[in-house]
Structure 1
Amino acid sequence: MSKSPVLITGVGRRIGLALALDCLAKGYHVIGTYRTSYPELVKLKDMGAELYQCDFQYPEQVSQLIDAVSAKHTSLRAIIHNASDWLPDSKNREDDLSTIQQMMNVHVNIPYHLNLALEPLLRAYPDGIADIIHITDYVAATGSKKHIAYAASKAAAENLVLSYAAKLAPEVTVNSIAPALIIFNAQDTQAYKEKALSKSVMAREGGVQEILRAIHYLLQSEYMT
């Protein structure tokens, strides 16, 4: 396994945590970011993960992350943009701009910044083709009546992928994964689950393993972009 690390954003819980654990188990050196400290992060540290607390709503924290990674590493195997937030649209007109700004920061502005700033490390990957993977969302193509800002930001992220794929080829491949229902939250009610499942073609949760398989497929491909 290459010593060049995989940078995964949002490793504190859910898909990000599962992905970080899986990559560590497969022998990757993992750099992980998290906004909020969770007990599960202790296990990641014990397994050797390099962790940085970084709130994407604060650009100075992102700059510190970039400086730290650039100072410590000479190359990157991959950047996986997993960090996400799911805010409903505000019913208060004064909060509308805040909601869309938060969604754009975490799903578009900071990934854009990280891709640009860490491009030299990706191009310096010595063992083949490096990767950027954005985890977006099915609603990028369908929209959402209650999460308009969220859906719009994920659609913008999809376009970001197209631009970076053209810009960074052939040394770096850039792809997105746009899942629908993967896993419910612990606080989701039974009524909400039933309503969500009624909209699903597969009528069930996809499960974290579906995302992990998709990501490792992309990491192994040297042509898809």
Structure 2
Amino acid sequence: MSQVVLITGIGKRLGLALASHFLAQGYQVIGTYRTAYPVLDELKQQGADLYQVDFYQQTQVDNFIAQLKQKYTSLRAIIHNASDWLPDNAQKEDVQYSAADIMQKMMTIHVGIPYQLNLRLKTLLKNSDIGGADIIHLSDYVAEKGSKKHIAYAASKTAMNSLTLSFSALLAPEVKVNSISPALLKFNEGDDDAYQKKALAKALLPKEGGFDEVIQAVEFIFNSQFMTGRNMQLDGGRHLK
């Protein structure tokens, strides 16, 4: 039977790259998404078990966890990739979010959801038939640096890193728990030349890290037998600029 990996937020970018990678490696991939993108049909055709879940709706979270417990007896890993990136002056349809709304959303998606999944699925992780399992929190380099325009986001990623410390202690030795904190991986479509130039200048290695950088880091964690409770920094040397 294939080893089962749960990846949250697989609709695009890094989550999609991770899902595609592990499917190609022969894993059974469980994926969550909030918005249905056409590319998800390709993942389904490759065998991915996909669930549309709005992590801001607790009822949907509860239903999703219940379905997993009913269908699966073990998990090789949980990779917490689902994310949101609201600036502190976020607006939607000409309505500005309150500061409380922004902080609640950031803490829910980056802390509350990993916390719930880790606790409520820990038995499946401990049942891994390979003699060990992994939880990986995909954090952000700004968790240590802070951010003037994304204060709530940065704070929530710092809290996510704290989950790594606590869960590594709670779940050892059966489950290793680590974080990966990338900086710039890939520009978005529409990022203009001026923005790209400014962003690249923030690092000692002025280039996009690429999704493969994180995939290789995940593979390293999977293969490691002696690392838990740590945070891997993939930031191009930004901390030294």
Name the counterpart of 2:209.
206
CA RMSD of superposed structures (Å):
1.3
Name the counterpart of 1:112.
115
Name the counterpart of 2:9.
10
Structure 1, residues 37-68: CA drift from partner, whole Å, max 9, x if none? 01110110010000000111111111111001
After TM superposition, list the pairs within 5 Å mapping 1:25-174 onto structure 2.
25-90=24-89, 95-174=98-177
Q: Matches of 1:221 and 1:43 in 2, distance apart?
A: 31
Number of aligned residues: 224
Q: Matches of 2:90 and 2:122 in 1, distance apart?
A: 39
Q: Percent identity?
A: 56
Deviation at 1:91, TM superposition (A): 7.1
**Amino acid of the structure 1 residue aligned with 2:200:** L
Could you say if the C-alpha distance between residues 119 and 91 of structure 1 is closer, same or farther in structure 2, counting changes exceeding 3 Å?
closer
Deviation at 1:4, TM superposition (A): 3.3
Deviation at 1:148, TM superposition (A): 0.3
TM-score normalised per structure 1: 0.97
Q: Matches of 1:130 and 1:79 in 2, distance apart?
A: 9
Structure 1 residue ranges without an equivalent (≥5): none
Could you say if the C-alpha distance between residues 193 and 94 of structure 1 is closer, same or farther in structure 2, counting changes exceeding 3 Å?
closer
**Amino acid of the structure 1 residue aligned with 2:99:** D
Q: Is the 8 A contact 1:11 1:17 kept in 2?
A: yes
TM-score normalised per structure 2: 0.90
Q: Matches of 1:161 and 1:89 in 2, distance apart?
A: 25
Name the counterpart of 2:232.
none
Structure 1, residues 99-118: CA drift from partner, whole Å, max 9, x if none? 01111111000110000000
Q: Is the 8 A contact 1:133 1:176 kept in 2?
A: yes
Q: Is the 8 A contact 1:181 1:200 kept in 2?
A: no
Q: Is the 8 A contact 1:134 1:175 kept in 2?
A: yes
Which structure shows the bigger proportion of residues in strand conformation? 2
Q: Matches of 1:173 and 1:164 in 2, distance apart?
A: 9
1:189 corresponds, among 192, 202, 212, to 192
